[in-house]
Each structure stands twice: as structure tokens, then as C-alpha cells.
Structure 1
Amino acid sequence: MSTLRKLNYLQLLRLELWLESYGVVLSHRMRHEYSDVLPVARLFNEVHPGRADLHGYTPSSSVPLKANNWRIFNERVLAKMNMALTTNEQHQLAIGAVGRLEALLHKLMLSDLTPRLEGGAQSYKNNTIPQKIIMGEYS
């Protein structure tokens, strides 16, 4: 069963905005570069510091080596983050299949936003209402 689903237009827009906050613009060239796991691992490391050991991946241009890097990344990082990929999905990422990278990065985006939202929800549970709401500032 596939874990990487095609994103709708709104999800793609949100992803693009989120990626821009990390200085990433997904052009055709960038999608090709991101078919190798190393740039993706760097982004994961920026979002979740210490999760990905960048020394474990060799920059690759051939599909078999890229697929091997994705396999290693899947075992070392994605599985621990509950984002494990199937072998087929790893291969699709290695060949740069349309929409697969975006789906994985969308999962990363959600993993980045979830702790923030939970932290916000936690602060409401503890009755520490943000000052802007108390003062009537809703901007």
C-alpha cells in the first residue's frame, strides 16, 4: 500500500510556502537534485536537527545508487519518524517520479507543524491564553 499520496492544489501551495521558509524552491532542476537523498536529508536535518546523519549518504547520479541511499535513509530516518516508505516508493523517488517528492516533503511539513500546533493546544489546556487573544488582537 502506498504511503505517498498525490497532493491537491491547496496542499501543494502550502508546501511551496513552507519550503520557501527554508529557502527551497521546487523547480524542475531542484526536483532532479532531490531525487538523490542527500538534499532531502539536509532539509530533514534542518527541520528536525540531529535526525539525519549526513555522512551516511554518498552523492549519487545513477538510479541504483540513489535507490540505495533512499533505502538507507528510509531505515535510519523515515522509519523512526513513522514515515517509512515502500521499496517501490523509494525507487520512484530515486527516478524522480512526478509528485512523489512533494508527497514526502508534505509529510515532513506536517511533522514540522504538528509539534507547534500541539504546543499551542497545550498552552490552551494549561489556561495560558496568548496575550493577543486577551487584548483582542487577532492579526
Structure 2
Amino acid sequence: MAQNLEDLYRWIDEHQITRHKKNLNRDFSDAVPLAEILKKHYPKIVDMHNYAPKNSLALKIANWEILNRKVLNKIKINLSQKDQVELAKCIPGAIEKLLLRIKTKVEKKSEENKIEPVNERVYFLEGISNQERHEEVVPIKIRAGSKTLDQKMVPVNIFDRMEQDIASKNEKIAMLQDKLEHLEKMVAIKDERIKDLSQQLQAVGSGTGDTSATPRARFFNKIF
């Protein structure tokens, strides 16, 4: 186990993390350094704008919820609510356990990419007119697999239109995701505020002494 941890610390040092490593559990408690590590290996699914440094427990948990839903679930690592709370609370061993799982998955992915063959084939797109078939075409790379398809090629103009459509849809999806994340953060802030107010009310309610002098008591005395 000690050797595994030494390997893990060396692996972490191979990544550029904006936060200086002092205490691993505390440094990773808001999920930001882990998001930076995952960004290197899964750049398409990690958006660093979603993960800002946090101090309060509720907002740290909110970061973990977003990272779990948007990234970890997609690489088949699922954090329970208990896991997220333990990570946010800096429970010893929680982050090491998660990082070891991620390290193993990243290394396995790297090995698979080295040995998996890529088969380049040319495809014609169904429904293309004869005139379009004489235009410049774009060959498409696909991974070799058991599924066999008729040969197709994509004309440049159609390929460009498809790329533009995809980019436009991705932009709309990103905007909706940003709105959702903003609402989630606002809910987390609201929950934190409600918690603070509840604690203040409990403190007032548990106080001793003559309550008739309180502003609320004076208000009701005026009414009645």
C-alpha cells in the first residue's frame, strides 16, 4: 500500500496543478485539482469553468456533484453522496482511494490506445447526388470493428455543413449546461444561507432572559 501511495504521489506530480501540494485531503477537498488532472486525460468532457475554488462545505460538495455527474460517471467511476461528503470534509484516505482508481483507469486507457489498431476506410454518404460525388471528398477514419458498412465518402461541402451544425448544437448545449450549473450553484448558496439563518434562529431561541425587550416582542405589544 505504501508503494502504491508513493507511485500515486509521483503520478500527481506529473500533472500541472495550480494549487501547491501541502495536504492532499485538504488541497483536493473542493475537487478543483482533480478536475485539472482529469482535464489532461479527458479534455473533451472537462470544462474547468465549472470548478471554482470553494471554502464552504456546501459549495465544495456542489463541485463534487458536478464533477461526478459530468466527468466521473462518463468514465465509469461513480461517487456516492457519502463519498462526496467525505471528500469535501477532507476525511483521510478518501482522496487517495479515488485518485488510485482514476490512475488505474487512465493507465489502462493509455495502454489500450497503444495497441488498438485503427482502420482507415473511405465511405460514401447515402443520398448524395451524382454531381456531389464528383466534388472533393473527405475520408473518414473509423476504428476497426465487427460491424461492416457499405463504402461511403463525404463531400467537403456536406462535411462542412455537418461540422457547422454540430458546432452550433454543441454551443447551445454548452449554454444550457452553463445555465444549469449556475442554478445549481445558486441553490447551494441559498441552502448555505438558510442553514446560517436557521442556526441564528436556534441561537436566539435558546437564549435566556426577558424577551419582552426584543424588537419582535415590542412589535406585538404595540399591536395587542
What SS class does the counterpart of residue 29 from structure 2 fall into? coil
Gap runs ≥5 in structure 2:
118-224
What SS class does the counterpart of residue 105 from structure 1 fall into? helix
Could you tell me which of 34, 47, 56 is aligned with 1:40? Answer: 34
Code of the aligned partner of 2:22: S
Q: Report the equivalent of 1:137.
A: none
Gap runs ≥5 in structure 1:
1-7, 124-139
Could you tell me which of 76, 79, 84 is aligned with 1:85? Answer: 79
Q: Report the equivalent of 1:17.
A: 10
Instruction: Judge which range, 32-41 or 51-60, deviates more.
Output: 51-60
Q: Which has the larger radius of gyration?
A: 2
Code of the aligned partner of 1:72: I
Alignment of 1:1-139 (within 5 A): 8-23=1-16, 26-28=21-23, 30-122=24-116
Q: How far 1:120 moved relative to its partner?
A: 4.6
Instruction: Judge which range, 85-94 or 111-120, deviates more.
Output: 111-120
Sort the Cα spacing of 1:72 and 1:99 in 2 relative to 1 into closer, same or farther, 3 A: same
* Rounded Cα–Cα distance in structure 2 between residues aligned with 1:26 and 1:97: 17
Q: How far 1:23 moved relative to its partner?
A: 4.6
Paired residues, what number?
Answer: 115
Q: How far 1:26 moved relative to its partner?
A: 4.6
Deviations 1:54-94 (A, max 9, x none): 11233210111101111111111111110110000000000
What SS class does the counterpart of residue 13 from structure 2 fall into? helix
| CA RMSD between the two structures | 2.0
Contact 2:25 2:91 (C-alpha < 8 Å) held by counterparts: no
* Structure with higher strand content: 2
- What is the TM-score with the length of structure 1 in the denominator? 0.72
* Rounded Cα–Cα distance in structure 1 between residues aligned with 2:81 and 2:13: 29
Contact 1:16 1:26 (C-alpha < 8 Å) held by counterparts: no
